Chain A
Amino acid sequence: MSTTQTAPVTGQAGQLHLTKRDRIAVWLRSTFMQASNNYERLITMGFTFSMIPVVKRLYPNQADRSAFLKRHLEFFNTHPYLASPILGVTMALEEERANGADIDDASIQGVKIGMMGPLAGVGDPVFWGTLRPIIGAFAASLALSGSIMGAVVFFVVWNVVRMAFTWYTQELGYKQGRNIVSDLSGGIMQKITMGASVLGMFIMGVLIPRWTSIDLSKIVFSSTDMGAVAEKFPGLTTLLDLINGGGQLTAEALTNGFSGIQDMLSNGYTALTNAAAYPDAPVRLMQTTTLQSVCDSLLPGLMPLALTMLCLFLLRKKVNPIAIICGLFVVGVIGAFVGIF
């Protein structure tokens, strides 16, 4: 199974070595990093669980194993994927310690604590704040067009990125040992975080007007009669005459008629029959001004933007997001009751 000796315990420098198979086992186990996330020590048990191939390789002695498990069960928390470089560094430290280097519990714990904060600060905005919303939004747009590829693309892209990231950073941590902390703060991580945030903010700006649906067209300010439909859209009238008076419906009349309807609607008109007031030309062209049409003429996406800003304001005031969601449902139901929606 491996080429290394596991019999000698300490004092034999360079005797104990973590094989690639061990490192792959740690990598696979790190998938379960968060399983026992709890309020007392957060993901520490997941870290210990991931390190178990390491203790099996390095410490055959029961007392050493007990000490290893106890020192890694101290408090630990970070972003689950960014735990990988920390695992790598800790593996390197444990390997040296097992080979007799003078590394005490405090320095192992110190390296873990020192890395976990800054790395969580990178992982949260990059993975949860940017990558997942963007891949999710792209996949959702595929799904909303009815394609199963949305789910497939999301799953495959996410997991390829995640597994490549955790393996590569774990190896980097293992090979670089303690130097990794200065490596990561050397600018590349900041660049990635900054670039991801720029892209993320840009995409959020795009998604808000595109994908928030607020329809205020039931709030009607005015409705003006713009004259007979016949005057502006003759094709439409020909179609109506043909339907009313029978006669021969030709393909040309149909095509003209439907393009007339499209023209009418895209110009913001609606049609209304008013035979009582206008017996000669009963089909009237109406222009209705609604709250929605006013907002659209000012700035497309104005209402979604305003709503998002309101939510952001409430979040900054430490209002619980769940309270905001419930509040919006109440607004929706009350709005439907009084007839706004």
Chain B
Amino acid sequence: MEIILVLLVALLAGFEGILDAFEFHQPIVACTLIGVVTGHPAEGIALGGSLQLVALGWMNIGPAVAPDAALCSVASAILVCMKGVDMGVGISAAMALAVAGLGLTIIVRTITVGLIHAADSAADKGSIRGVEAAHLTALLLQGLRVVIPAALIIAVPVDVVQGALDAIPSWVTTGLSTAGGFIVAVGYAMVINMMATPKLWPFFFLGFAFAALSQLNLIVLGIIGLCIAFIYIQLAPEFNQQSVQATGAAGDDLDAIINDYE
């Protein structure tokens, strides 16, 4: 029963890994779900939170595919919640699987090229059903891309996993856990790389400076950030073409007031 539920989560994660709609494949959702269905919610939640930070910048843009969050979350949650693997090691295993998952996604996207030609011939016959079937088959393949590896990981006995992990020297696991702590920088860099323009850099450093004030929690900092964004849009010259006259008018008002005082 537990295994069926885990595989169901894996299927949803596989669908979402390509759909990017409900976001079931995001670590915070997938790991938490697996934690809940396996009866280890605390581990699932903590793993989901940590992995989510690592995966912040992983995004599919156009034909480029990011490391696969779906397989990475599902497989590491299986390792941590079902096999009792240590969290840090689970996260590093997740990275390896994210890369493996990337390979699988590429394979499925290539197979789907064949399906679109099947849809073409269905379209020739005017068959709506044929086009729908081709589309949904592609979705199913994306689901299986995560379900099959997940089932393989579940099938490997616990003592084999544990034995393999015990054979790893401690400096490797320490090193992997340490790297897990700062690997998030790559995700941040990916987000910044996408957004940064010369105009936006000051806001980055403003945030960096505010972060040093440890009394301010994230919600407070979020409010500050939102206010800055609103104020910027109101004041930025590129959004205020027509307000050149308005400023002139305001200046006249100000002059009038000053004149009144004199």
Contact = CB atoms under 8 A, between A and B. Distances in A.
Interface string B190-214: 1111111100110111111111100
Contacts of B180: 332
B211 A301 contact: yes
Contact of A39 (B46, B102, B110): B110
B195 A66 contact: no
Given A140-B49, A197-B195, A315-B189, A45 B116 contact: yes
A97 B1 CA distance: 52
Contacts of A143: 28, 32, 45-46, 48-49, 52
Contacts of B219: 138
A146 B45 contact: yes
Contact of A140 (B53, B60, B102, B206): B53
Determine chain A's interface SS by DSSP, over half rule: helix
A340 to B, nearest CB: 9
Is chain B's binding surface mostly helix, strand, loop or mixed? helix
Interface in B17-44: 18-23, 26, 28-29, 32-33, 36, 41-42
B152 interface: no
A180 B102 CA distance: 36
Contact of B123 (A69, A120, A214): A69
B186 A321 contact: yes
Nearest to B181: A213
A255 interface: no
B250 interface: no
Interface in B123-173: 123-126, 128, 131-132, 134-136, 138-139, 142, 171-172
Nearest to A45: B135
B178 interface: yes
A39 B218 CA distance: 40
Contact of B201 (A133, A201, A331): A201
Contacts of A305: 208
Contacts of B225: 198-199, 202-203, 206
A120 B29 contact: no
Interface of A: 31-42, 44-46, 48-49, 52, 55-56, 62-63, 65-66, 69-70, 73, 77, 80, 120, 124-125, 128-130, 132-134, 136-144, 146-148, 150-151, 154-155, 158-159, 162, 187, 190-191, 194-215, 299-301, 304-305, 307-309, 311-312, 314-316, 321-322, 324-326, 328-329, 331-337, 341
30 contacts: A35-B19, A35-B135, A37-B18, A39-B113, A41-B116, A46-B135, A70-B120, A80-B19, A124-B61, A124-B194, A128-B194, A132-B23, A144-B46, A155-B22, A162-B21, A194-B239, A204-B191, A205-B209, A206-B211, A209-B211, A300-B211, A301-B208, A311-B185, A328-B179, A328-B186, A329-B183, A332-B175, A333-B172, A335-B178, A341-B175
Given A42-B63, A154-B23, 18 more contacts: A32-B19, A36-B134, A69-B119, A136-B28, A136-B56, A137-B218, A143-B45, A191-B233, A200-B195, A202-B207, A206-B218, A206-B221, A207-B56, A213-B181, A309-B189, A321-B66, A328-B186, A337-B171
